[in-house]
């Protein structure tokens, strides 16, 4: 008998076909996010699930899903999942690393360029019919080439962002828990520094690190005060890493020049102050959203789940200790 699984949000037809070959699939192709109660009800008889960052997988939900053996998250980050609780219940958790690195890095640069050259403001001006002709001192932005790029979080995506800096002749400063190998630093023209030094020296600060209790409000009022008044902040990581209220205040007061943001605390809701700021470029958490990348993400999650339910070790297992636990099935 095929294992029963739940796919919590809309996925691609090829993904469903792949899952259907090995599993009995209930899918939410209507794509309306389940409430916690509805998610618990639908998981009550399921052995696996393909979920997204909009789904909260916590201890209470696990209690309502006694047969659950594997959770396949369509994302690299998994702060929507209580991994420790899953391990305690013998539930494997997987993610989708590697497949979205370059697409996310591309979008980080889109935000960086858009904020530096005021693209959103220019577009709005032209569309509103407010452009009256060329002027020497009109809509001046800041140069990217030759500026100093600071990256906080130098994993796969951070390194992909740094590689693109070579085309702009930018030296790279990076802050990371562990230092990269010397040959990687040389290849990326990157120097390992502390967070305070990076904030003081960088013309552009890009955040690309996981969200956790330790990184909550890693960038707050004190950190924003350390940045150059001409600096630009880009966040393509997770909401909560930045204190949004402090950032709204700093942008409004001109303490930093601009920001490019793809993620927010409490999204899809966001601090209302952002909407009044012309120096904030805002995007709806789409850094990985290309057709090719999102397709690979969904298929990676599907392959992870099928492997886990077949009794194999899935390729992207987050919590290997879960396999040592037992769970009633």
Q: Which residues are catalytic?
A: 238, 267, 285
Bridge partners (DSSP) of residue 190 are 172
Handedness of CA 121, 124, 128, 134 (dihedral sign): positive
- Note whether 81 and 73 are within 8 A (CB): yes
d(CA 9, CA 27): 7
For residue 296, CA distances in Å to 98, 163, 289, 302, 319 come to: 10, 22, 11, 10, 22
- Note whether 231 and 205 are within 8 A (CB): yes
DSSP one-letter string for 14-63: HHHHHHHHHSEEEE-TT-PPPPHHHHHHHHTT-SEEEE-TTS-B-HHHHH
Phi, then psi, of 76 in degrees rounded to 5: -80, -50
Q: Give 284's contacts (C-beta < 8 A, 6+ positions apart).
A: 262, 267, 268
Where do runs of H (alpha helix) occur along the chain?
13-22, 36-43, 59-63, 83-88, 101-116, 119-127, 156-165, 182-188, 195-201, 221-226, 244-252, 291-309
Q: Which tokens in the block code for residue 284?
A: 């709806």
């Amino acid at each position: 008998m095929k294992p029963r699984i739940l796919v919590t949000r809309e996925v691609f037809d090829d993904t469903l076909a792949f899952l259907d070959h090995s599993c009995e699939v209930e899918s939410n192709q209507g794509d309306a996010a389940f409430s916690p109660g509805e998610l618990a009800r639908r998981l009550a008889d399921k052995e696996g699930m393909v979920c997204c960052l909009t789904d909260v997988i916590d201890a209470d939900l696990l209690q309502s899903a006694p047969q659950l053996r594997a959770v396949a998250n369509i994302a690299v980050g998994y702060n929507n999942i209580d991994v420790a609780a899953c391990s305690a219940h013998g539930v494997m958790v997987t993610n989708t690393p590697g497949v979205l690195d370059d697409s996310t890095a591309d979008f980080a640069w889109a935000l960086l360029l858009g904020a530096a050259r005021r693209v959103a403001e220019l577009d709005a001006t032209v569309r509103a019919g407010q452009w009256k002709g060329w002027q020497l001192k009109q809509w001046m932005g800041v140069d990217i080439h030759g500026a100093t790029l600071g990256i906080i979080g130098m994993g796969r995506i951070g390194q992909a962002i740094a590689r693109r800096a070579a085309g702009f002749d930018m030296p790279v400063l990076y802050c990371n828990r562990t230092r990269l190998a010397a040959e990687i630093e040389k290849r990326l023209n990157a120097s390992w520094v502390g967070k305070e030094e990076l904030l003081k020296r960088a013309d552009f600060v890009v955040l690309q690190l996981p969200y956790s209790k330790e990184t909550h409000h890693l960038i707050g009022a004190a950190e924003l005060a350390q940045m150059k008044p001409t600096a630009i902040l880009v966040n393509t990581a997770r909401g909560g890493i930045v204190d949004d209220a402090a950032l709204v205040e700093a942008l409004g007061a001109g303490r930093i020049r601009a920001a490019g943001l793809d993620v927010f605390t409490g999204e899809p809701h966001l601090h209302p102050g952002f909407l009044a700021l012309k120096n904030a470029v805002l995007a709806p958490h789409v850094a990985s959203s290309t057709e090719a990348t999102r397709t690979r993400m969904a298929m990676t999650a599907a392959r992870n789940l099928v492997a886990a339910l077949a009794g194999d070790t899935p390729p992207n297992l987050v919590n290997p200790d879960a396999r040592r636990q037992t769970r009633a099935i």
